[in-house]
Amino acid sequence: MLATARSDLPRGAGWLYEFKWDGIRALADVHDDTVRITTRNGNDVTVAYPELLALRTEFSDALLDGEIVAFADGRPSFESLQQRMNVHQDAPARALATTNPVAFIAFDLLRLYGVDLTGRELHERRETLQRLADGSDPADSSWSLSPAFDDPDAVSSAARAHELEGVVAKRADSRYHSGARSADWVKVKFIQRSEFVVIGWESASESATRLSSLVLGYFADGRLRVAGKVGSGLTNATARSLQKQLVTDLSPTELDLKASPGRVLTRVEPRTVVEVSYSQWSNDTDQARLRHPVFVGVRTDKDASEVGRD
C-alpha cells in the first residue's frame, strides 16, 4: 500500500501520524525458519542485509511492512544506506553489516501465524504489532515499531527538528490494499527530494565517452517529461558505475532533449531511477525544471514506471 503525496497533512479524528523514515520500503516475510526481504518492486534483497535474518528468531510466521534504515550520528542516512543497497554477495554483505548496520522499522503487520490481517483496520494491526514489540527485548531485537501519534503539529515539529524526511498520515480505520496508492495514507515531505528516471547523460565534447551529468525525467499522464539535469553530487566512481548500466539510444525521440552548450548528449532507455535533492521547480508548467539539483543516489528498489512528479 502506497501513500499519496500532498503539501499538507490531513487533520481531524481518525488519523495517525508517523515519521517518514529515509530508507528503503520493504516487506519482511518470515516463515518456516526463513526470512525473505523484498523491495516494493519485488526485488529479493535478502542477501544484502544478513543482520535481518535474526527476524526468524522472533517470529515463527509473519509478514511485516516497513523500512530498512541506516543511521549516521543518530539520524537516518540515505547516503549510508547506499553502501548497502547494491551488494549481491554474502561475504561483503556480512562485513558491511558489522561496520554499517541497518535496522528494520516496521509500521504494519500483514500476516501473523498464517492469518491474513490485511482486511482488518490499521489500528488493530498496529495494536498487534505493539504487543509483539512489547514482548521483545529492544537490546536484542532485530526490528522496532515505528511510533504513531495523534498530534500532527507535534509530529511535524519533531520531524523538522531532527531533520527527518517528512510525516505520513494514515487513517486508523484503513484496510491494507497491496500495491495500491491510497488517499487513506498521505505523505508530506519536508525535504525537497524526489525520484527521477534517467533519460540521458551528457559528456564534455572533447571527451564524449565520460559521463558528467544526467538528464532526468518523470512520468505524467503516461508520458515521459523532462525534469532537468544533474551533475552536482556525482562522484567519479558513481558516474562510471551508472555509465556501465545505462542502455543507450532508447529514450523516446519525441522528448525535447537538447545538450547543454559544449556538451554531447546520449539518450538512454528510461529504466534507471535516481534520487535527487533540489531547491524548487522553476515553474508549474510542463516545461518546469529542477533548480539547484544535487544527485543523492540510485534507487534500485523502485521501478521507473512508478516515478511521477511529487
Measured at the CA of 241, the angle between CA 79 and CA 254, to 5 degrees, comes to: 100
Burial class (CB in 10 A: 0-12, 13-18, 19+), 84: buried
What phi and psi, each to the nearest 5 degrees, are found at residue 165? -70, -30
Q: Name the CA dihedral angle for 203, 204, 206, 210, rounded to a multiple of 10 degrees.
A: -40
Best CA proximity match to 194, nearest among 79, 293, 83, 82: 293
The answer to whether residue 20 is catalytic is yes
Q: How far apart are CA 80 and CA 127, in angstroms?
A: 31
Whole-angstrom CA distances from 171 to 123, 126, 138, 183 are 9, 12, 28, 9
User: Which residues touch 227 (CB under 8 Å, ≥6 apart)?
Assistant: 196, 216, 217, 218, 288, 289, 290, 309
Q: Look at phi and psi of residue 116 and say left if phi exceeds 0, alpha if psi is from -120 to 50, else beta.
A: beta
* Catalytic annotation, pick one of 20, 170, 187, 302: 20
Buried b (16+ CB within 10 A) or exposed e, 253-284: eebebeeeeebbbbbbbbbbbbbbbbeebeee
Are 62 and 112 within 8 A, CB to CB?
yes
Burial class (CB in 10 A: 0-12, 13-18, 19+), 70: buried
The catalytic residues are 20
